[in-house]
Structure 1
Amino acid sequence: MSLFESTNTLFAELLLPVPIPKLFTYRVPQDYNDYIKIGQRAIVPFGERKVVTGVITHLHSNPPKDYEAKYILELLDEERVVSDIQFRFFQWIADYYCCTPGEVLNAALPAGLKLSSESMVQLHPGFDWNESNFEFTQKEEILLKRLAQEPLTYTDISKMLGIKQVHGILKSLTKKEAIIVFEEIKDKYKPKTERRIRLSEAYVNNKQLEGLFELLGNKPKQEEVLLRYLQEVPILQDKTLNKQGISRATLLQTDLSESSLSTLIKNNILEEFEIHISRFDSTTTNEKQEIVLSEEQLQAEQSILTAFEKQSTVLLHGITGSGKTEIYINLVQKALADGSQVLLLLPEIALTTQIVQRLKKVFGGVMGIYHSRFTDNERVEVWKNILNGTFKFVVGVRSSIFLPFENLGLVIIDEEHDSSYKQHEPAPRYHARDSAIYLAQLHHAKVLLGSATPGIETYFQTEQNKYALVRLDKRYAEAQLPTIIISNLQEEQQRKTNKGEFSGLLIRKMEEALAAKEQVIIFQNRRGYSPSISCEDCHWIPKCVNCAVSLTYHQYRHALICHYCGYKESMPDQCPTCTSKRIKTIGYGTEKLEEELNLHFPDSTVQRMDLDTTRSKSSYENIIEQFEKGETNILVGTQMLTKGLDFDNVSLVGIFNADRMLHFPDFRSYERAFQLITQVSGRAGRRKKTGEVIIQTSQAEHPVLNYILNHDYLGFYRAELNERHQHIYPPYSRLIELTVKHIDKKICRQASSELAESIRGTITDIQVLGPGEPMISKIRNQYLMSILVKVARGNQQLAQIKKSIQSEIDRLNKVKEFRAVRFIIDVDPI
């Protein structure tokens, strides 16, 4: 052992955000020995040129045996940013959902906490223009002259030269030994700053100020700036106000002379300084806002608290409009009063604007919000505000389970049945509800699940006494459940009372609601103008070039778009197969519905709410605000409409196409249809007037519709449970879906067959279905095959079964012809 490798030499094990199932050992520079800690982030070299941000998991004095450890380049934190509980949680996610801890870390850390390396270009140190034997093009000369001043990024060079591809010119200059390319580490997180102005200390009393105004007597514009400052910051009454000063933008917003302000700063009369400010509203509520609960709500809340004494997880089964939110607020207040942190999970925060605004009024600055529409910097600030104790209550989407809680006391999962709690791509393919229940166990916290239409598996757990059950069967404030009416499209078409794709009944009910100055919601779970187009002569239907799906027509873009890979092409003027100009649209999307409703109700304002109209950060909030104010009469949209909305003036909800939901080829299709239709029906008649729901269907006698008609969740649950028991589907089994992908269809089929056979041959007590082609058998130029593994619910070998499946995949990946095949494991697929 060399002198350098003394017993004082420290080594750190790092978890890196890479899909490799191991930790990586790095040498700790001795300068860091005294303050390096587990849970800190560190920048480390990875591979030949890459630089990544990892998190320190262990510290020790044992050098690695198989390789020479590289040095940690830099520590990024003074204190730890990842806790021991988080490390345990990451490992559980990796083990349960069959991925690597590095993939979990990559999902857990906000992008702003992960440094990146960016390619930079600079002049070669040995380059001399006068001595170079090479000739340079005009663009090369422009670039070299600029590089003589400072290094540039690829993006800088592209903009400066007005070219999209810079690799050619960089390759040429590298050969001519005029430039070198290097990697510069960039910190993605940038604190938000504000430039502020204050009076120099030399003038912060009456005597000096009087002298200053005499000095500025013949400079009226500078005097005006100074007077405005004193108006905004009354330092003569309180000198301490001067330290904080005023923002530069506020001072200048009334057309004061900016040059006069600059002169005052230059002459040391005013000072300019910069402070870090929060990206969030930091107002706090001083008075405790009491939530007045009804008798039913009080009973439900007490039942929950009593249940928590014996069980850690409780299901609150409350019908739509029963006032679950008020109970949540009371429980959160109690948990915060006990000194605990609280996490409230919502399916998609951007879709639950109303509840977030309401919670913000109650909890103010102790409440943080974490969702997908936030910028990287905003997410980092939430992370830091939890660490420093500013945010004790967080309302967030599924990824908020990864936040750095230290003392979690209560987890509330609203709309626990919602499918958006499941992450599909990329790994980890976790379910936030199930993961949050395990996270709560690590913190010894309580979990409240809330839903008007609980998931079948969740309700089953209450019957197994694993979860407690509390019911809330009455709507809040004397509101009544809506009257549900089935509109039989087959009968209407026979009687010719329908108006296009709308039933006469729905049109008539809409006319009555609008005449009474009430609002209408129309639900259609398909966006776009039309699901597809077709040639009336040869029946050609345009397909995606990358996926095995037809293209959806979007009228506002006048384009055909694939909803799986984003491929887009222009709407053809004629059929490319037979040159016919008779091209028609097939089916109705939300965009076409919006157009038809404008024709039927020209005097009403129609607004559409789907993925296409809510892409920007505030577009959803704007649509909701216009509807709340009554500026919109008819709101048409997708399942976004089912989530967390509460409107006083909606008396009618129309379900446009129930049949498509009922006949989706999936064992959960009845459950999803029941949940979606019930949830969107709950938007009608939220106050004293009973609302109405019209369900358009060609199968009026369908049993699921009968359960919805009678608001009979338990009847539906029993029937669905019986079906699943017969076919051994959850909750009577656990599912593991294996997807095999490859650009060659033959290889994909071969690899999936070998995988299925090897699993059947090596693992007992399971059922293997497939391989078979999924409903969409090609996405992004990759062919897909699917295998479904069923594991009986009582099987104690689930963890070993997963490991065995992974071993078979690893074995196949070593076979030469299968090395490029991608195998995806999805545990508990939805």
Structure 2
Amino acid sequence: MFAEVAFPISDFLTFTYKIPKDLVQDVQVGSRVKAPFGRRNAQGIVTQLKKTSSFKGTIKELSGLVDDLSIMTLELWKLIQWMSKYYVTPLGQVATAVLPKNLSTRYTPPKNWMVQPNPIANDADLELVKKRAPKQYDLYQEIWKAENPIKVASFKELASNPLSVCRGLEKRGLVTLFEETCFPDVTGFSFDPIHKKVDFNDHQKTAVHAITKSLDSKKYSPFLLHGVTGSGKTEIYIEAVRHCLAQDRTAIILLPEISLTPQIAGRFRAVFGDSIALWHSKLTQAQRSWTWKEICKGSFKVVIGARSAVFAPLKNLGFIVIDEEQESSFRQDSPAPRYHARDVALMRASYEGSTVVLSSATPSLESYYNYLHKKLTYLRLPERFGG
């Protein structure tokens, strides 16, 4: 078996590689692979599988798979192909934008050595340590003061190699050493849960009914939600997402600014708990890697974030919101592909059979034009929520 592989280069060429026997069952169209490319091992994406190759020379083998889980869906692959044609960008570059090369399902969070004291059976043992190993004794005194297990690395001021000292204490039976997985804190950019009692007005009820009805149809349904500032659009999103999750489907909420993420994330977290993932440029590499892997595993059902969140590898996507869709921050100018997240969201929804809501107090000319030409269903919220 042979695979055609596209690399993130500014060329539309693909390159033929032989698939090793142990990978034949795992390599599929859309799989991310590692392969020898020139003098280096590069990451690319499989665009085609073939039983034979017309090339008569020596064909190199794939080095391996990037991911240990299947993350490419048929719908996401169609989106990559459409973006490549529409934005005139090589498949390899589009695939890298959709599935960043520094993220993988093989990511494992780092582990920290932890230490906790053991009950002392004989005070003489401790006196012996004080005489023969004063450094161990000093460290044990600090460990004993701690009420909970403490990170070994925190003792670097007392010892140049605290792990070695703690192992000495462990051999004497004075402490217990163990490794603890260090999960990244992904809640740093959201406020505390914001609870509200919601009573919809007539205009909101009409909008909610139209959106939930489209979700029930499980067909591509695009809406333009034109609501004045403070008209309660977020509450409509929440009601629609609640309906979407009840169907065992997932949702994406796109926001134009990171500064808006905390408030909306806090409101969503109050309703949906820990099934919410945040995705934006302020996340650390560890936070991004862990969040992306959990999205791939299906741990998160709702992704809230900036424009790149439109590519979140959610399965069974049912609902997409582009909040403040007129904002220019949804447009990526560099690097390629130079896409508009609003347009990409509409195309992804069409492939997924999802409901998509373009929301704004001042709709863009493009969206309003599409409404006038019957491409979008128009929903109006003329009154402030609670006013």
* 4+ aligned runs moved over 6 Å, structure 1: 255-261
Q: Go from structure 1 to structure 2 and tell me whether the alpha carbon gap of 1:247 and 1:38 turns closer, same or farther (over 3 Å shift).
A: farther
The answer to whether the 8 A contact 1:350-1:371 is kept is: no
Residue aligning to 1:322 = 231
Secondary structure, counterpart of 1:334 in structure 2: helix
Task: Name the counterpart of 2:141.
Answer: 224
Sort the Cα spacing of 1:256 and 1:299 in 2 relative to 1 into closer, same or farther, 3 A. farther
Amino acid at match of 1:263: V
Counterpart in the other structure of 2:134: none
Which residue of 274, 278, 284 corresponds with 2:184?
Answer: 278
SS in structure 2 at match of 1:99: coil
**1:76-475 mapped onto 2 (5 Å cutoff):** 76-113=66-103, 191-198=108-115, 209-211=119-121, 215-216=125-126, 219=130, 221=138, 223-229=140-146, 231-232=147-148, 246-248=150-152, 262-268=164-170, 269-273=175-179, 275-281=181-187, 291-296=197-202, 297-306=204-213, 312-350=221-259, 352-475=261-384
Q: How far is the alpha carbon of 1:83 from its aligned partner? A: 2.7
Distance 1:66 1:319 in 2: 65
Mark the CA change 1:477 to 1:68 in structure 2 (over 3 Å): closer, same or farther. same
2:152/2:163 contact within 8 Å kept = no
CA distance in 2, matches of 1:194, 1:16: 33
What is the aligned counterpart of 2:15 among 24, 36, 43? 24
What's the Cα RMSD here?
3.4
Question: Is the Cα contact below 8 Å between 1:265 and 1:272 reproduced in 2?
Answer: no
For residues 520-567 of structure 1, the C-alpha deviation after alignment (integer angstroms, 9 at most, x for no partner) is: xxxxxxxxxxxxxxxxxxxxxxxxxxxxxxxxxxxxxxxxxxxxxxxx
> In the superposition, relative to structure 1, how do residues 319 and 262 fare at CA in structure 2: closer, same or farther (>3 Å)?
same
Whether contact under 8 Å (2:276, 2:303) holds in the other structure is yes
Q: In structure 2, how many angstroms separate the alpha carbons of the residues matched to 1:412 and 1:449?
A: 6
Give the whole-Å Cα distance in 2 for the aligned partners of 1:336 and 1:213.
60
**Alpha-carbon contact 2:8-2:96 (below 8 Å) kept:** yes
SS in 1 for 2:45: strand
CA distance in 2, matches of 1:33, 1:60: 11
Give how far 1:13 is off: 2.3
Instruction: Tell me how far apart the structure 1 counterparts of residues 239 and 360 of structure 2 sit (CA, whole Å).
Output: 17
Query: Residue 214 and residue 312 in structure 1: after superposition, are their counterparts in 2 closer, same or farther (change >3 A)?
Result: farther
Retained in 2: the 8 A contact 1:313–1:447?
A: yes
Contact 2:115 2:152 (8 Å CA) reproduced: no
Amino acid at match of 1:398: R
1:266 counterpart letter in structure 2 = G
Deviations 1:295-341 (A, max 9, x none): 24334322433465677111111001112112212222222232111
CA distance in 2, matches of 1:349, 1:42: 32
For each residue in 1:203-231, what CA deviation from the matched residue of structure 2 results, as whole angstroms up to 9, or x when unmatched?
6xxxxx342665225646455345345x3
Cα distance, 1:446 vs. partner? 0.7
Unaligned runs of 5+ in 2: 131-136
Summarize the Cα distance change of 1:248–1:434 in structure 2 as closer, same or farther, 3 Å threshold: same
CA distance in structure 1 between the aligned counterparts of 2:370 and 2:315, rounded to whole angstroms: 28
Q: Which has the higher contact order (CA 8 A, sep 6+)?
A: 2
What displacement does 1:93 show?
A: 0.9
Superimposed CA distance per residue, residues 185-213 of structure 1 (whole angstroms, 9 cap, x where no aligned partner): xxxx975424132459xx6xxxxx34266
Give, in angstroms, the shift of residue 350 of structure 1: 4.3
Q: Distance in 2 between matches of 1:259 and 1:44?
A: 40
Q: CA deviation at 1:414?
A: 0.6
Question: Relative to 1, partners in 2 of residues 1:216 and 1:264: Cα closer, same or farther, differing over 3 Å?
Answer: farther
Alpha-carbon distance between aligned partners in 2 of 1:306 and 1:271, rounded to the nearest angstrom: 57
Q: 1:226 to 1:349 in 2, by over 3 A?
A: closer
SS where residue 453 of structure 1 aligns?
Answer: coil
CA distance 1:450–1:105, shift in 2 (3 Å): same
1:275 positional shift: 2.4
**TM-score computed with the length of structure 2 as normaliser:** 0.82
Say if 1:110 and 1:379, in contact at 8 Å, map to a contact too. no
Q: How far apart are residue 32 of structure 1 and its match?
A: 3.4
Measure how far apart 1:84 and its partner are. Answer: 2.6
Question: After superposition, what is the alpha-carbon deviation per residue over 1:250-278, rounded to whole angstroms, capped at 9, x for unaligned?
Answer: x769x988888753422424324352423
> What is the CA–CA distance in structure 2 between the aligned matches of 1:79 and 1:88, rounded to whole Å?
19
Q: Is the 8 A contact 1:368 1:391 kept in 2?
A: yes
Q: Do the aligned residues in 2 keep the contact of 1:345 with 1:395 (CA within 8 Å)? A: yes
Which whole-Å CA distance do the structure 2 matches of 1:429 and 1:272 have between them? Answer: 48
Q: Distance in 2 between matches of 1:217 and 1:378?
A: 45
Q: Give the match's secondary structure for 1:211.
A: coil
Distance 2:386 2:141 in 1: 57
Using the size of structure 1 for normalisation, the TM-score is 0.40
Amino acid paired to 1:332: V
Q: Distance in 1 between matches of 2:76 and 2:167?
A: 49
Q: CA–CA distance in 1 between the matches of 2:11 and 2:166?
A: 59
Query: How far is 1:468 from its partner?
Result: 1.5
What is aligned with 1:43? 34
The one-letter amino acid of 1:345's match is: L
Three-state SS of the structure 2 residue aligned to 1:439 is: helix
Between Structure 1 and Structure 2, how many residues are aligned?
A: 369
Task: Tell me what 2:133 maps to.
Answer: none
Amino acid at match of 1:323: G
Letter of the 1:77 partner, please give it: D
Partner of 1:697: none
Contact kept? 1:38, 1:80, Cα under 8 Å: no
- Structure-2 separation of matches of 1:51 and 1:258: 38
Q: Quote how far apart the aligned CAs of 1:412 are.
A: 0.7
Q: CA deviation at 1:379?
A: 3.0
AA aligned to 1:54 is G
Instruction: Report the counterpart of residue 14 of structure 1 in structure 2.
Output: 5
Structure 2 residue identity aligned to 1:374: L
What does 1:537-686 align with in structure 2 at a 5 Å threshold? none
- Aligned pair in 2 of structure 1 residues 210, 379: CA closer, same or farther (>3 Å)? closer
CA distance in 1, matches of 2:322, 2:160: 52
**Amino acid aligned to 1:25:** T
Q: Report the Cα distance in structure 1 between the residues aligned to 2:139 and 2:16, rounded to whole angstroms.
A: 61
Structure 1 distance, partners of 2:74, 2:182, is: 30
Amino acid at match of 2:14: L
Deviation digits for residues 44-83 of structure 1 (CA, Å, limit 9, x no counterpart) = 1223x24310123444431342653212123332223333
Residues 409-431 of structure 1: CA deviation (Å, up to 9, x unaligned): 10011111222222223332222
Q: Are the counterparts in 2 of residues 13 and 56 from structure 1 also a CA contact under 8 Å?
A: yes
Note the residue ranges of structure 1 that are not aligned, 5 or more in a row: 1-9, 115-188, 204-208, 233-244, 479-830
